[in-house]
Amino acid sequence: MRLLNFLIIFLILGQSVSRAESKPNVLFLAVDDMNDWVGSLGATPRAITPNLDRLAARGVNFTNAHTAGVFCAPSRAAIFSGQFASTTGCYSIPNYFVHHPEIEALQMSFSKAGYTTLGAGKLFHHPAGAIDQRGWNEFFLRNQFQKEGGWALESWSEETPFPNPFPASIYNKGKEVTGGLFLEWGTIPNEKEEEMADTIRINWAVDQLNKKHDKPFFLACGIYAPHYPNYCPQKYFDLYDPAKIELPPYKEDDLADLPPKIRRQKENRKRQHHDKLVEMDAVEDAIHGYLACISYADAMMGRVLDALESSPYADNTIVVFWSDHGYHHGEKGNWGKHTLWERTPNVPFIWAGPGVSEGAKTDVTASLIDMYPTLAELCGLPKPQQELEGVSLASTLKNPSTATDRHVYLPYLTPGEYAIIHRDWRYIRYGEDGEELYDLREDPHEWSNLASDKKYASVKAELAKLAPKSFADPEPKLNPRKDLLIEGESFR
């Protein structure tokens, strides 16, 4: 009987080990502010991105993927919690885990499934107190200040290289720059590339792929590029001739058909930024800096992809590449994000690896909030306590040609503001401040707002039905000085 019991236990343990070994690893790669100018997406202007293009060539490339939030904090909160801001209240903050500790973040599900969880860089938002520390075996921080300062992820500090002179762009020339270095671009000497914060984080991720792992791993690495300031080594600027940069499509009176309050807001922003760049004859220069930083980000992703391909994990690792949101460069008069128009939510979104079709491109509508349920299905993750609001893309990844289109929802800055998006239409609601409606088949640049045309009243009504029936109140902002208790190299 003892021998029989031993054999049963041995078989059970053997099956458990076999299941663990068969689980795919996951390489989770994030960039910040990267729009759809990636080479494989074919938009104008087109960035030089050979590494992302080869990833797309061996996986599934979503051409109609959308973010889950209109800027960094809410987008990343939605991705890691699996819930939209209308449920968590994180319309402008990333801290779903502060007042909702019942939410099990993505990395926690991987940890519960027996994975080694490794993180680095800008996965969550970057200010102090914004990183969900739970569920990580290791989260890399590049200096002691970050460890003892609430895990703030500043990419530009005393030990990182800056252009000389500083500030470098014509837009900020002569200014005393004390804040976010908005509309700032410039070159860094090529020999300083290894000192850049994003390079350091990528090199750490490469080191993890060069190690032996006894368990399946979830390796997540986020970089700041191409977020402003658009600083990167000279060689990436040299890839482009500024005189030959093709501008994105503009329409002079593009804001004329917006709801009155929204029109005033957007016209003010246009005067502050786009009109000034036009007066300075600096639009091409600003776009040049952004394109260069996309190419730098591509080169960094290339390092990780090369390390994976030469590792023992190459055949059993799912690669997911995503950007937290896109970016306007003068389209509809806007520079930046914070809009419900195409340039903000449309992002590069690429999957490759086991269970994923090779060399496929699909225009079915997808959302970044779909990553959590997709990975849960592909990796056998336990069901988290919270309801996941995305849908699994596993069947689309396996056979993209059979996928059907669907609507996706995108919350905005306050409760009751949102967009409903699919392949053919975009409906935008600004609470009580008005609406927009665009026929994306006929008007891909969203130049003609059809919301006031009675002919499309039924279209609006059908799309509006897909919005949440209720919206959570906004979560209060975290004040790092008052709300964080720093304990050695951790915080709470």
The residues annotated as belonging to the active site are: 72, 125
d(CA 330, CA 336): 9
Neighbours of 7 (CB within 10 A): 10
Whole-angstrom distance, CA of residue 488 vs CA of residue 485: 10
- Where are the strands (E) in 37-171, listed by range? 59-62, 65-66, 116-121, 138-140
Q: How far is C-alpha 81 from the geometric centre of its chain's CA atoms?
A: 14
- For 56-95, list the strands marked E by DSSP: 59-62, 65-66
Task: Give the closest residue to 116 by CA, choosing from 317, 393, 315, 385.
Answer: 317
**Other CB atoms within 10 A of residue 154 CB:** 16
CA angle 131, 140, 62 (to 5 degrees): 70
Q: Which residues are CB-neighbours of 115 under 8 A, at least 6 positions away?
A: 23, 26, 215, 216, 217, 218, 379
Identity of the residue numbered 21: E
**Distance, CA of 11 to CA of 9 (rounded, Å):** 5
- CA 123/CA 324 separation, integer angstroms: 9
Contact 194, 254 (CB under 8 A): no
**Token pair of 190 as six digits:** 């090529």
Beta bridge partners of 218: 26, 117
The C-alpha atoms of residue 207 and residue 458 are separated, in whole angstroms, by: 55
Tokens of 9: 């236990």
Q: Is 1 helix (H, G, I), strand (E, B) or coil?
A: coil
DSSP secondary structure string for all residues of 312-347: TTGGGEEEEEEES---EESGGG-EES--SSTTTTB-
3-state secondary structure of 96: helix
Instruction: Output the CA–CA distances (angstroms, integers) from residue 194 to 31, 219, 222, 299, in the order listed.
Output: 18, 21, 16, 12
| H or E element in which residue 65 lies | strand 65-66
Q: Report the run of H or E that residue 14 belongs to, with start and end.
A: helix 2-22
CA distance 389 to 239: 41
Q: Please confirm whether the linkage preceding 382 is cis (ω < 30° from 0).
A: no
